[in-house]
Each structure stands twice: as structure tokens, then as C-alpha cells.
Amino acid sequence: MAWTGKILRVNLSDGVITSEALNREWAGQYLGQRGLGSKYLIEEIDPNCDALGADNKMIMATGPLTGTMASTGGRYSVITKSPLTGCIACSNSGGFMGNELKNAGWDMVIIEGKSPEPVYLYIENDKAELLPADEIWGTSVWHADEWLHKRHQDSLLRVSAVGRSAEQGCLYSAIINDLHRAAGRSGVGTVMASKNLKAVAVRGTLGVGNLKDPKRFMQAVGEAKKVLADNAVTGQGLPAYGTQVLMNVINELGALPTRNTRDVQFEGANDISGEAMHEPRASDGKPNLTRNAGCFGCTIACGRISTIDKGHFSVAHKPEYWGNSGGLEYEAAWALGADTGVDDLDALTDANFICNEDGVDPISLGATIAAVMELTKLGVLTAEQTGGVAFEFGSAEALTQAAEWVARGEGFGRELAMGSRRLCEKYGHPELSMTVKSQEFPAYDPRGIQGMGLTYATSNRGACHLRSYTVASEVLGIPEKTDPLTTDGKPALVKAFQDATAAVDSAGLCVFATFAWTMEDIAPQIDAACEGDWTVDKLLTVGERIWNMERDFNLRAGIGGDQDSLPQRLLKEAAKTGPAKGLVAGLDKMLPEYYELRGWSADGVPSEATLGRLGLA
Amino acid sequence: MEIELKLFATLGRHLPAAARRNAVHIDIPADSTAYDVIDANGIDREEAFMVVRNGVFRPPEQRAREPLREGDVLAIWPPVAGG
């Protein structure tokens, strides 16, 4: 139970929409959301299909706890083959869309084919139809969102939409829901736009019930909420400072990738930090941060809602940017700030708002701009080649201009929209691309946090911190402190985080809850809601099964162990300052042990015994 | 001897008005420990969740007995996380 038991299948090519029963056997093996959505995708598409062709599919999947009373139970994921990486993509978003889909009665929506004309999908409980989107094609997410609310005369309509960047083929376009929540990584928005699907608008009023043991569920949920409230991190730290509190933490530890990872500490870190967002600015005495915000059902509320100084150069001509929007979160602040060397908080906020408005992954955007800045520093690129703008490290003007270009698919923005791997290859310097499997890595330098090197190298969706956030252990001491500068014990740590995270991502819950919750807090909630016996051991096995299934997809797509690597800079150039001074990322010391722990061959292929043990043979 | 004390997030309220960028240079008695500095600045030891000396995390037992040295940077956070 907890699942609605229904899938909405939308064929954009012929416009046929059908309802079908959820495969209960798979639900018992893959739980929901990331795991179950990936199972469906993998069963239905050729791993070697063109990610931007009609043969690729895109699945919007909720978890069994999405839309329930469980804290943080508002998540949904978009699963598809990524045009950026060629790997399986699964991008997770909060806000209110997941809850709305579930309340409309759907566990997931499978979108296939390609519409001959721009359309949007309108779902109102059992009713689903494709409607013309000509009037909003070529407009931003914010414009489309407003138009859809007016068109349907429904202020409670929930909208997931793509912006102009996706329509123009930017390979790291996001799907934005609720104006500023994003299924952000791996170009899932690009896939959606390639299908001529502008938006999915949902209204659900059916409620979410169908729980296995409602009384026990409410008890388990209540106890788990108390754990979040009593925990200093989830009860106080995250609501007050959000993820952005990490800027100074990671900088002090010498693990803040700076200026395209040339350095590991940024002298301007404090100016773009969570603390700086609280500081009153000179012009109007107001801080950048307006308030915190929570997604559906969340009792943490780590989100940031901010404003830009109206007098700042970036918004002087954009009154539509004088109001509130989401961010900065830590990853965006790092990519748009430290990685580009820009210490102008308002410029970063503007670039982040642009990413919100037109659906751009700020991590990939910032890291690609950083690569262009290094190419400029080396004299490979000149201002003449980059739209007349000098891409010098630290240039807030270049940052905000680049963001606008990419958002609209204009000028040099079309080259930035390729992502750093393709762009750096084009200009003869692939070594300057800070990517794994073509995806830009996030805000932790593996020379200073060694476990993150293995995390990036082995992530099934290309470099990513959310596949195994060992920062929790290596920096924050959750669940126990480990030394960030050593590789010892990290293969087992990474595997444990990967498997547990895959299970959490499949439940409808937010991974940030695990700063306080252990699997012992999560399992009783799932077990009380879902048919079957959901123990901690079973959840970890489900997580391991999902990990191996994703890996198998990538192998069949031609992405194997030879790509479980890191940029040469991290492997060859030692950190210059801080505690990690003199260290490189010790991937070679970790990868063989990791493969062995996984039950994979020396070249990273799951053995028959491993696949058999997990029911994947 | 002089050290640089950095107090972040909600601990910033313990900084003097002269502090800039969450940091202040302070004079402390020789052989002071991290806990000596924490206590002297009115910070609850339990609230000093993450104590980092020259970029390296110091566990509670070392905060109590490890003497600081001239020029050290002592950075302290309450319970925080992110991602």
C-alpha cells in the first residue's frame, strides 16, 4: 500500500494517454521514485538510444511516502537517459509537485515519444490531457507558470516546466517546479523540451491514504518528526542558515574548489556565505536573505528565499528581479561564486534567479563558466570569441551575462550550453573540464575530502555529491566522524552511503533528513505505510539493487569502469594551501577496494554472483 | 599570545563589534586550549559543535588538552550541515 497503484502513460507522438496498474512485484523490489522509476525506464528503453530522440522516455516518479504525513515526504524524481552524460539520469526535486501528483492519484507519469507541436500535460485527478503550448513556447518558466495559472483559473495548480535554455538545447537544463525548485542535474529539462513538452500542470484533490497500518504509521511519523526537531542540525542549524552555512566550513577545511579548482580556498568565501546572506546591505539596510522555506510536509525548512539589491548593476534594468526567489543554496553559491572567483553576493543571486527563471543547473553552469575563465586566462579564448565579454576570474559582469545568454540560448551562451567537457574539448584543453562522465562536479574538492573523490568517480549519473554524501561523515561527523584527509575506510563508507541514499531517494523522502535520521528511523515509517516487511536490511538491499541496476544500464550504454575517474588536476596537482596541502585525490587507493566490496570485477563490472544475489541476473 | 578566532553561524553573536568576516584576533594566555577560549568567550561547549584548528577538526578530547600556539586559527561552528 501507500502506492496509489496507478501509472499514467502519455504518448506524445500519437497523443494517446492511458492508465495502467503499477507492477506490484517491482514495487516490492525497488520501492518507488528513483528505484522504481529507473526500473521502468530500463525495461522500456534501449540504453544506446539518442537521449534527445523520440525513443528516450522521461518518467516523473513519486515515492510511497510522497504526499503522506511523513516529514520531508514531498519529493519526486525525473528519470531518463541524460543528454549530458549518456548515463541514466535521476534528478530529485522538492517543492509541492510530488505531493500534487500523488494527490491526483498517480505513482508516476511515463512520458514517451515526441509531440509534433509544443504541448503541455494537464492533469486533474483522473483527467489528463495534452493541450497546446504555442503561447508559452519560447518563454521562461516563470512566464509559463503564470500563464498556466491564469489559463486554468486555479491558484493551487502545481507546475513543472522547462525554460528557454532547454528549448534551445542547453545540455544541463533543469525542470523547475513551484518557480524555484529544480529537478536540476543531468539535463532532464533538455529531454523534456526535446519532446516538445513545455510543462506538466497538476491538480490533485484525491488525498493520499491507502496506508498499510495508519495508526502505526502516524506513530512512526510522529516519533521521526521528534527526532528531526530535537536534532540540532535539522531543528536549528539548517532552518537558520540553510545549506549555505557550508561555505565557510568547507573553505576553512581547504576543500572549496576555487577558480576552476586551481585552488582549494577562496579569499572571498565569507562574502558569499550563509553568514553574509544575513548581513544588512548598505543601500537599504535589508539582508539578502528574506526567510527560510520548506517543501511539502517538511519540518526542517532549509530553503532560502532571497532578494537582490535593487541598485545592483545586474538587476537595475530588470524590475521583475526585485522581488523574492529561491536560493542561494550552497552548491549554486559555490559554482557561481568560488569556482568563478566572483565574490559579489548580489551577482550570484542574480545568476541563480536566472537559473530559476529559465531552468538551468547552476552547478554545471558555474563550472562551465569557470572553465571558460581558465581558457581565457591561458589565452586560448579571447573576449572577441566570447561575445565581447572578457571572461576573467572574478568578473561578476561576465558571470551574469553568461547566465542570461545560456538561459535564452543566445550568442556565446550556445557554447556554454554544451557543458565544460564538450567546450574544453572543442578548444583543445579537455584537461580543464572538471567533470566525471561529462557532468560537472560540485562543491567539495576531493583532495581535501577524499571520500568525495570516490563518490564522484563512481556516481551513476556522473559527478554528484548527492549519490553518497560522505561529507556528512568526513566533515560534519554524521553519523560518526572520519578523517577527510585519508583514503582509509572510504570505499566501505562510500558504498554504505550510496546504498542507503538510493533507498531514501526511492521512498519519497529528502536525503537531508538523514542528517538526523538513521535507517532505523526511516524503516518503521516505510514499513507502516507499505505492503511487505520493510526492515533496515531490506532497504539497504533495495538500495544496493538499485545501484547495480543503474550501473548495468550505464555499462550497456558503453560507459564502464574506464570512466570511473577524476580530472587529471585532482589526481596530479596537489592542493596548494590548507590542511590538504600537498595531497592529491587518492582514487587509485580506493577504487579497487570499492569494486571488490561491490562484488564487481577489476574493471568495474558486477559479477554474475552479485547480480544473482540481488535478483538482477 | 595571539590567535585568530572565527565564530560562524549563530555563534557569531559572541564576536565583538570590531570583528570582520566572522573573525577577530585575540590575546590568550600561553598554553590555552580550545575549551579555554570557548569558555572565556561565553560559548556553551555543547554549542561548539565543530571546532577546527588551522583547518583540521579537533575532537572534544583534544579541545580539552591540546595547547594552542601563537598564530593559530581557531574556527568554531554550532551544529550545521548542508549539501
Q: Report if residue B3 sits inside a domain.
A: no
Counted domains in chain B: 1
Helix or strand holding residue B6 (H, E): strand B2-7
Asked if the model's pLDDT at residue B83 lies above 90, the reply is no
What is the separation of C-alpha A143 from the centre of its chain, rounded to a whole number of angstroms?
23
Which chain B residues are within 8 Å of A471, Cβ to Cβ?
Answer: 83
Q: Collapsing DSSP states into helix, strand and coil, what is residue A119? A: strand
pLDDT of the residue at A209 = 84
CATH superfamily for domain A6-203: Aldehyde ferredoxin oxidoreductase, N-terminal domain (3.60.9.10)
B56 to chain A, closest Cα gap in Å: 6
**Residue B6: inside a domain:** no
- Please give the residue of chain B at the shortest CA–CA distance from A332: B83
Q: Which pLDDT value is given to residue A132?
A: 98
Q: Which residues contact A477 (CB under 8 A, 6 or more apart)?
A: B50, B57
Nearest to A232 among B52, B73, B78 (CB): B78
Sequence spans of domains, chain A:
6-203, 240-440, 450-613
pLDDT at A445: 98
Query: Could you tell me if residue A86 is left (phi over 0), alpha (psi between -120 and 50 degrees) or otherwise beta?
Result: left
Query: Where does B1-83 show beta strands of DSSP type E?
Result: 2-7, 23-27, 50-53, 56-57, 73-77
Interchain pair A242, B55: CB under 8 A: no
Domain residues for the domain of B37 are 27-70
Chain B closest CA to A444's CA: distance in Å? 10
What CA dihedral angle connects A472, A474, A480 and A483, to 10 degrees? 180
Query: Does B64 reside within a domain?
Result: yes
CA distance B20 to chain A (A): 10
Residues A101 and A116: their CA atoms lie apart, in Å, by 25
**Least Cα separation, residue B80 to chain A (angstroms):** 5
Q: Give the whole-angstrom CA distance, residue A391 versus residue A95.
A: 34
For residue A304, what are the β-bridge partners? A292
Distance CA B79, CA A231 (A): 9
CB atoms within 10 A of CB A188: 34
> What φ, ψ does residue A309 adopt, rounded to 5°?
-60, 120
Residue of B nearest to A472 (CA): B81
Q: What is the pLDDT of residue A1?
A: 65
Question: Is B10–A253 a contact, with Cβ atoms under 8 angstroms apart?
Answer: no
Q: Does B35 reside within a domain?
A: yes
Model confidence over B32-55: pLDDT tens digits? 999 999 999 999 999 999 999 999
Fold entry, domain A240-440: 1.10.569
CATH of A450-613, one of 1.10.599.10, 1.10.15.40, 3.30.70.890, 1.10.357.10: 1.10.599.10
Nearest CA in chain B to A468: B83
Rg of chain A, C-alpha, whole Å? 22
CA distance A177 to A162: 9
Query: Which residues of B fall within a CB distance of 8 Å from A249?
Result: 8, 50, 77, 80, 82
Which of B45, B69, B71, B40 lies closest to B59 in space, CA to CA? B45
**Distance between alpha carbon A76 and the CA centroid of its chain, in Å?**
11
Q: What is the least distance, in Å, from the CA of A218 to any CA of chain B?
A: 27
Bridge pairing between strands B2-7 and B73-77:
parallel
Burial of A79 (0-12, 13-18, 19+ CB in 10 A): buried
Q: Which residue's entry shows cell 549530458?
A: A84
Chain A residues with beta carbon closer than 8 angstroms to that of B49: 232
Cβ contact (<8 Å) for A244 and B57?
Answer: no
Query: How far is residue B65's CA from residue B31's CA, in Å, rounded to a whole number?
Result: 9
ipTM computed for the complex: 0.97
Residues of B in contact with A254 (CB under 8 A): 55
Contact call for B81 and A233, based on CB within 8 A:
yes
Contact B77 A249 (CB under 8 A): yes
Using CB atoms within 10 A of its CB, is residue A385 exposed (0-12), middle (13-18) or buried (19+)? middle
Does B83 contact A241 at a Cβ distance shorter than 8 Å? Answer: no
H or E, element range at A274: helix A274-278
| CB-CB neighbours of A348 under 10 Å | 33
Report strand pairing: A17-21 vs A88-93: unpaired
Distances in Å between the Cα of A505 and the Cα atoms of A110, A238, A522, B44 are 18, 20, 12, 36
Question: For residue A544, which of A35, A2, A4 has the smallest C-alpha distance?
Answer: A35
Q: What angle do CA A458, A554, A607 make, to 5 degrees?
A: 75
**Please, which residues bridge with residue A130 across strands?**
A121
Q: Is residue B58 part of a domain?
A: yes
In this complex, which of A243, A274, A579 lies closest to B56 when CB atoms are compared? A579
DSSP state of A124: E
What sign does the dihedral A349-A354-A359-A361 (CA atoms) show? negative
C-alpha to C-alpha distance for A340 and A391, rounded to whole angstroms: 9
Interface of B with A (CB under 8 A): 6, 8-10, 12, 21-22, 49-50, 52, 54-57, 59, 73, 75, 77-83
Burial of A7 (0-12, 13-18, 19+ CB in 10 A): buried
Q: Which residues of chain A have pLDDT under 50?
A: none
Residue recorded with cell 567533470: A435
Q: Confirm whether B80 is domain-assigned.
A: no
Question: Minimal Cα–Cα distance from B36 to chain A, Å?
Answer: 21
